[in-house]
Amino acid sequence: MTQKKQHRSLRDAFGQFATGITVVTTIDKSGKPIGLTANSFASVSLEPALVSWCVDKSSTRFSEFSEAEYFSISVLTSEQEGISNLFASRSWDDTVFSDVQWYKGHNDVPQLPNCMARFHCKTEHVYEGGDHLIIVGAIEEYDNDEEYAEQAPLLFLRGKYRSVL
């Protein structure tokens, strides 16, 4: 099997596991908002409160996220597929925040409204993880909006968006 076929096969196998969709946001050194779509979010610990996510080393926003002191993770609802697509396809674009509602939140990190939950984090650990960097954040604040918690989550399974409920 060629390496390309092996990668596709492994990616397809990973795709059998449904993941939630998030947008991770931070600010760069000049104070500009940046963000990208990530489905690698995971809870790590309740005490202390920690979460993790992974950023691809080939991402155009790799250096900003690998050096970020603070970041936020917004858990998307099934009605926010457009936001997921926007940050997936235009994460490199400095004008992406012109096309979405947002506001400054904890530590001036950009926040997206109408999400199921938001985690406001300080980078606690950064680990090498092959072609990705694993970022562990200490949760300083979080929002669990009950109005949106009843909506269906945006999921990714077998290469497509899905939802439940």
Phi, psi of 62, deg, nearest 5: -55, -50
Q: Give the burial string for 97-123 (b: 16+ CB within 10 Å, else e).
A: beebebeebbbebbbbeebbbbbbbeb
How much is the pTM? Answer: 0.93
10-residue averages of pLDDT along the chain (165 residues): 81 88 96 95 97 95 95 96 95 90 96 95 97 97 83 92 82
* pLDDT attached to residue 147: 79
* pLDDT attached to residue 146: 79
* pLDDT attached to residue 76: 96
* pLDDT attached to residue 6: 81
Domains of the chain, each with CATH number or no CATH: 3-158 (2.30.110.10)
DSSP character for 77?
B
The model's pLDDT over 44-67, given as tens digits with 9 standing for 90+, comes to: 999 999 999 999 999 999 999 999
* pLDDT attached to residue 17: 87
Cβ atoms of residues 20 and 153 within 8 Å: yes
Find, among 54, 39, 28, the residue nearest to 125 by Cα. 54
